[in-house]
């Protein structure tokens, strides 16, 4: 090779390297510095690949309002480090005079005043916290690389990290998140703190990292056992974990709370569970198992479905019923517990409907659940009763060969994240009608504002008995053979 040719090759490699460096430098990236102490906050600095004039921050999530008011000290600039002036056009919305590539600001992250809100938004206290990119970063990012800086001695854990479950927090790689699309960025949740302890629960379908903070009446191994039981139970219906890993983040409420109080959210592949401490090991573990039966199912539904629109009546109310069935199937609950839970749900939704004074379909109630607590009661409690009736009705029609699990299985097969997006309510109702072999049930109980569901139980050998301000469900002492087989399928002995 001649000297001139070698020089040309070297020049070409230098040019190529420079181009690659420019592309990497232009990648959308953020640094999030966690600051604890008396005024906990995060300091955020970011650079976006394409200059933006209109910047948006989350102003409301899960009924928690004024999130945008936590953002302070906004600064915008261009790639040439020229300051870009801006104005606020609406809550959480800003517009720069010239398009900006760089942004810097702080987000105040004091503990929420409403205890249950701690499962839904970012917060930091003296020794731990939760960082959710949805309310910390600007909205509508089509992907981002996020590096974290933590207080001395703190660690960070999340299933959102792509390379590993337990991160090496002594290296930059161990603190870096890469989201390839908008959903991955907005679903990313991170547990941070000085005293977090972790246990990796391997299962046949993947790994679940249990991140635990604080002392509990039960042991860490009780937590991992409960996770494995519920994941394996749902896997039998829905298939392997949607991702090769998930995480449970178990933390006590920052404020004092009774042991029976809890709040949870499953976002992406991260389950955040906040609970009150105290009480007995048996009671605490029972509550943990009941909550996990519901929240672990969310790893599949709705989090791994490419469905668009609000269909909370199904992915909340119907999965509550699925969790109840799972509790009976695993032995955590008995058949009387099953009847009591359904009866309690009837009592709750009837009281909510009486207070509202209006009748809404489950679909309409879903749209109002964050601004109307009684609408939320319909989404959770009434939808759970409707799910129970659907399960019983399909089992009755098919002599126990079909049930609600067949619906979940079909929806998972037809509408996972690898499939094209479709409108949620239409897709779910289509599968419900197909499994029921008629549109009669969904027309009566889901798309219409049906009120009294109690009369439907008699057909299946269950009697409704007044009890105080609510009802009880009891088994008819004279069951037909078909009724007995149906209830034994649910768990009656």
CB proximity list for 225: less than 8 A, separation 6 or greater: none
- pLDDT for 9 beyond 50: no
CATH number for the domain formed by residue range(s) 25-193: 2.60.40.3650
- pLDDT for 69 beyond 90: yes
Rounded to 10°, the helix 481-490/383-397 angle is: 130
Annotated domain spans of the chain: 25-193, 197-299, 307-490
Higher pLDDT, 22 or 261: 261
Given 3-state DSSP classes, what are the helix, strand and coil percentages for the chain, each rounded to the nearest 5?
A: 40, 25, 30
**CA torsion, ordered 320, 321, 325, 330, to nearest 10 deg:** 0
Rounded to whole angstroms, the Cα distance separating 352 from 382 reads 10
Residues 166-178 pLDDT 10s: 444 444 445 899 9
Burial class (CB in 10 A: 0-12, 13-18, 19+), 432: buried
Domain 25-193 and domain 197-299 have a common topology: no
The average pLDDT across 62-68 equals 95
The average pLDDT across 424-435 equals 98
Tokens describing residue 37: 């102490």
* Strand stretches in 397-444, DSSP E: 422-423
pLDDT of residue 295: 97
Contact assessment for residue 34 and residue 124, using Cβ atoms and an 8 Å cutoff: yes
Higher pLDDT, 97 or 163: 97
Domain 197-299 - what CATH class? mainly alpha
pLDDT of residue 140: 94
- pLDDT for 201 beyond 90: no
Give the pLDDT band (50/70/90) at residue 16: very low
Residues 431-474 pLDDT 10s: 999 999 999 999 999 999 987 899 999 999 999 999 988 999 99
pLDDT of residue 4: 41
In angstroms, the Cα distances linking 346 to 82, 118, 172 are 61, 28, 52
pLDDT of residue 170: 42
The percent of residues in the chain predicted with pLDDT above 90, rounded, is 85
Residues 344-396 pLDDT 10s: 999 999 999 999 988 899 999 999 999 999 999 999 999 999 999 999 999 99
pLDDT of residue 469: 87
pLDDT of residue 15: 36
Rounded to whole angstroms, the Cα distance separating 124 from 191 reads 10
- pLDDT for 14 beyond 60: no
- pLDDT for 206 beyond 90: no
């Amino acid at each position: 090779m001649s000297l001139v040719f070698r020089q040309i090759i070297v020049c070409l490699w230098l040019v190529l390297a420079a181009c690659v460096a420019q592309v990497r430098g232009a990648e959308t990236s953020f640094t999030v510095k966690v600051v604890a102490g008396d005024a906990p906050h995060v300091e955020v600095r970011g650079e976006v690949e394409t200059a933006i004039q209109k910047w948006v921050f989350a102003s409301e999530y899960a009924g928690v309002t004024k999130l945008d008011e936590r953002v302070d000290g906004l600064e915008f600039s261009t790639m040439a480090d020229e300051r870009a002036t801006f104005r606020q056009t609406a809550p959480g919305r800003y517009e720069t005079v010239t398009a900006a590539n760089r942004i810097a600001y702080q987000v105040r992250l004091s503990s929420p005043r409403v205890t249950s809100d701690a499962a839904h938004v970012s917060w930091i206290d003296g020794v731990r916290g939760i960082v959710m990119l949805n309310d910390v970063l600007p909205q509508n990012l089509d992907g981002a690389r996020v590096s974290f800086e933590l207080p001395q001695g703190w660690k960070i854990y999340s299933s959102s990290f792509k390379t590993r479950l337990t991160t090496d927090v002594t290296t930059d790689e161990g603190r870096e998140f890469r989201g390839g699309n908008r959903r991955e960025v907005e679903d990313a949740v991170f547990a941070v703190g000085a005293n977090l302890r972790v246990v990796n629960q391997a299962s046949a379908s993947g790994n679940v990292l249990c991140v635990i903070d604080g002392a509990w009446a039960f042991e860490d191994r009780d937590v991992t056992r409960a996770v494995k039981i519920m994941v394996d139970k749902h896997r039998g219906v829905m298939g392997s974990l949607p991702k090769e890993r998930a995480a449970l983040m178990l933390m006590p409420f920052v404020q004092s709370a009774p042991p029976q109080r809890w709040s949870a959210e499953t976002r992406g592949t991260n389950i955040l569970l906040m609970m009150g401490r105290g009480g007995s090991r048996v009671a605490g573990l029972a509550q943990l198992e009941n909550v996990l039966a519901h929240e672990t199912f969310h790893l599949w539904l709705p989090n791994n479905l490419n469905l668009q629109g609000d269909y909370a009546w199904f992915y909340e109310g119907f999965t509550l019923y699925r969790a109840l069935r799972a509790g009976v199937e695993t032995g955590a609950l008995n058949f009387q517990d099953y009847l009591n839970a359904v009866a309690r749900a009837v009592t709750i939704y009837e009281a909510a409907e009486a207070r509202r004074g209006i009748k809404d379909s489950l679909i309409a109630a879903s749209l109002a659940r964050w601004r109307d607590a009684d609408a939320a009661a319909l989404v959770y409690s009434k939808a759970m009763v409707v799910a129970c009736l659907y399960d019983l009705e399909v089992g009755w029609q098919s002599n126990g060969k079909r049930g609600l699990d067949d619906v979940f299985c079909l929806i998972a097969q037809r509408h996972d994240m690898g499939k094209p997006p479709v409108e949620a309510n239409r897709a779910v109702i289509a599968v419900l009608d197909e499994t029921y072999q008629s549109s009669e049930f969904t027309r009566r109980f889901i798309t219409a504002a049906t009120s009294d569901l109690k009369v439907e139980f008699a057909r299946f050998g269950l009697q409704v008995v007044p009890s105080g301000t609510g009802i009880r469900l009891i088994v008819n002492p004279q069951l037909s053979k078909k009724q007995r087989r149906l209830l034994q399928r649910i768990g009656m002995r």
